């Protein structure tokens, strides 16, 4: 299961209803803060997520509405939360800006917090505990802008009833079979993985695009994703401004979702120029399964057919259930 929580959904400047860009993506015990606009730390607290296990930040690009919150977050981590480690992944130009920002915040002072800045290149940069993250190039204003593809490993479920029928003891034999290895039991019988593993269940796929000036070149990366998160700063009526400032219109974002065959679309980076219903009204005729997200909206993607849940992909998760 992959969960994602929007912490800030406003374009460029905050509004009364919306904070600046930030979101939390979660897979099992791993958490990723994607972008960190001004005010993010308070949104993290309001969401109920808290700072626990938050040590990895992914930045789509270096514009101030996506990074300024790092100053406050790092200051809190270094001075009040006694945190020891934070790793920030971003393109070279964004990292340069983050370095400048952190120099102002920390002023070369001695802090316990070790901050690692890791420069992104297109390709896989994270492969741990059943999750792979790939960075892919996005064209926006300035160099080194990236989107992220979060992919859960596909897996075959262990069929407990079949194992019981075969008299397979609980213990290391089961683990070996899950790993795809045959085991020979004490009575001489050999059990093959196919005897106790169900059909392959594909892992969830979440594609995340920050600010973008065009959808050209993105189709291959986001194709068939269970969810696509992408900006929709403008409407078609102001397509000339979208082009000038390197942003997308709602209809361009929806066109990408349609052409790339994604299952659900989440529009963010919403401008104060329009109401969310105007944004939805432009996108939905092109791609029906569209949500214009709000701050603190919480979604989860679960494997289709997975026995542990009946929640369909993209269904909004009940917040109470997930805040534990």
Q: Which residues are at the interface with Zn ion (CB under 5 A)?
A: 63, 65, 211
Q: Which of 29, 35, 55, 65 is catalytic?
A: 65
d(CA 7, CA 109) in angstroms, rounded, equals: 30
- Cβ at position 21, least distance to Zn ion in Å: 6
CA distance 12 to 139: 17
Strand, coil or helix: what is 237? helix
Q: Are 225 and 262 in contact (CB under 8 A)?
A: yes
Active site residue 65: yes
State how beta strands 123-128 and 183-184 pair.
Answer: unpaired
Quote the least distance from Cβ 287 to Zn ion, whole Å: 22
Based on CB atoms, which residue is closest to Zn ion, 63 or 97? 63
CB-wise, 49 or 212, nearer to Zn ion? 212
CB of 294 to Zn ion, least distance (A): 17
Q: Which is nearer to Zn ion, 163 or 209 (CB)?
A: 209
Burial class (CB in 10 A: 0-12, 13-18, 19+), 233: buried
Residue 243 neighbours by CB under 8 Å, 6+ apart:
213
Closest CA to 57 of 19, 97, 95: 95
Nearer to Zn ion, 22 or 196 (CB): 22
CB 246 to Zn ion: min, Å = 7
114 phi/psi in degrees, rounded to 5: -95, 125
CB of 308 to Zn ion, least distance (A): 36
Which CB atom, from 193 or from 246, has the smaller least distance to Zn ion?
246
Other C-beta atoms lying within 10 Å of the C-beta of residue 36: 30
| Catalytic residue ranges | 65
């Amino acid at each position: 299961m992959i969960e994602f929580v929007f912490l800030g959904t406003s374009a460029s400047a905050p509004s009364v209803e919306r904070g600046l860009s930030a979101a939390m993506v979660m897979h099992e015990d791993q958490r990723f803060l994607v972008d960190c606009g001004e005010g993010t730390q308070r949104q993290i607290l309001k969401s109920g997520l808290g700072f626990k296990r938050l040590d990895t930040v992914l930045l789509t690009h270096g514009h101030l509405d996506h990074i300024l919150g790092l100053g406050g977050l790092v200051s809190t981590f270094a001075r009040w939360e006694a945190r020891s480690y934070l790793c920030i992944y971003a393109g070279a130009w964004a990292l340069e800006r983050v370095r400048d920002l952190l120099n102002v915040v920390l002023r070369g002072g001695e802090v316990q917090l070790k901050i690692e800045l890791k420069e992104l290149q297109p390709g896989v940069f994270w492969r741990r505990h059943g999750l792979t993250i790939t960075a892919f190039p996005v064209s926006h204003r300035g160099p080194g802008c990236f989107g992220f593809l979060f992919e859960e490993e596909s897996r075959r479920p262990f069929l407990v009833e079949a194992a019981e029928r075969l008299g397979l003891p609980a213990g290391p034999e089961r683990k070996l079979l899950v790993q795809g290895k045959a085991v020979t039991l004490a009575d001489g019988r050999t059990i093959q993985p196919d005897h106790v593993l169900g059909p392959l269940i594909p892992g969830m796929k979440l594609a995340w695009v920050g600010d973008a000036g065009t959808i050209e070149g993105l189709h291959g990366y986001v194709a068939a994703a269970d969810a696509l998160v992408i900006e929709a700063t403008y409407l078609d009526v102001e397509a000339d401004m979208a082009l000038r400032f390197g942003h997308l219109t709602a209809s361009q974002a929806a066109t990408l979702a349609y052409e790339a065959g994604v299952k659900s679309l989440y529009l963010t980076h919403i401008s104060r120029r329009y109401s969310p219903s105007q944004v939805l009204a432009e996108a939905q005729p092109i791609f029906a399964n569209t949500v214009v997200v709000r701050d603190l909206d919480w979604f989860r993607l679960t494997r289709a057919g997975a026995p542990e849940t009946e929640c369909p992909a993209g269904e909004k998760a009940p917040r109470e259930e997930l805040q534990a």
